[in-house]
Amino acid sequence: MNILLVDDEIELTDPLSRLLTREGYLVDTAYNGLDGDNLAQAGSYDLLILDWMLPGKTGLQICQELRHQGKTTPVLFLTAKDTLDDRVQGLDAGADDYLIKPFELRELLARVRALLRRAANIETCTNIINKLVVADLELDIENQIAYRHGRIIELSQKESQLLQFFMENTGQLLTHSQILQHLWENEEQPSSNVIAALVRLLRRKIELLGEMPLIHNVYGKGYRFGK
């Protein structure tokens, strides 16, 4: 795990860096806000530990800029600011946790472990949730559910498989034989009329009156999916 530690108190930063290194983390350090910001922008870190008040650029500014850029790296603030308004300001800036100086090293390590676990869990959940999005249609593959204009569309297994095949090949002509082969790869294939019936059922669910058509017939050949 890579950690960036930014604090202008060298007497705190250096021992803390050594402690985190002994715990098995890879630690980069900076002693002012400008260097810290450059490292945060250029590096790939699993956690940022930022002092609030820094020369050049504050930890608050660094955190705000990262969040405005859409970066979600966990941020732990170290600060002597201990009022409720200060804590609220730090959290509103996008910080994930807040530790007031002076602090116990055991508590800091516990906060670090908790933030890294939380980030790992979020990443795992994101990878598990397998979704496809085309135009205003979203498909939750794992749960066989589609969403369009705020409504939930429940799909059968074959409908979900067909929609997934369409969405993964947006804009391409998919022939009847390609669809049959994909949906019934290890099964006895039905007649091509089944494809037409399945497409009709899917259309009724994902294309209500007034909604943009997404499934387009290519006469005598097959279907094309997309806007």
Q: Give the separation between CA 120 and CA 110, rounded to whole angstroms.
A: 15
Beta strands in 61-161 (DSSP E): 75-79, 97-100, 131-134, 137-140, 145-148, 151-154
Q: What are phi and psi of 113, to 5 degrees?
A: -60, -40
Q: Which two tokens stand for residue 94?
A: 């996008």
Show the domains of the chain with their CATH numbers: 2-128 (3.40.50.2300), 131-225 (1.10.10.10)
Mean model confidence pLDDT for the chain:
86
* pLDDT range class, residue 175, cuts 50, 70, 90: very high
Q: Which residues contact 152 (CB under 8 A, 6 or more apart)?
A: 145, 146
Specify the higher pLDDT residue, 83 or 199: 199
Q: What is the pLDDT of residue 17?
A: 92
Helix (H, G, I), strand (E, B) or coil at 8: coil
Residue 220 backbone class (left: φ over 0; alpha: ψ -120 to 50; beta: rest): left
Residue type, position 98, single letter: Y
Beta strands in the chain (DSSP E): 2-6, 26-30, 47-51, 75-79, 97-100, 131-134, 137-140, 145-148, 151-154, 173-175, 215-218, 222-225
Quick one: CA dihedral 188, 193, 197, 198, positive or negative?
Answer: positive
Q: pLDDT tens digits, residue range 114-127?
A: 888 876 665 544 44
177 pLDDT exceeds 80?
A: yes
Does the reported pTM lie above 0.75? no
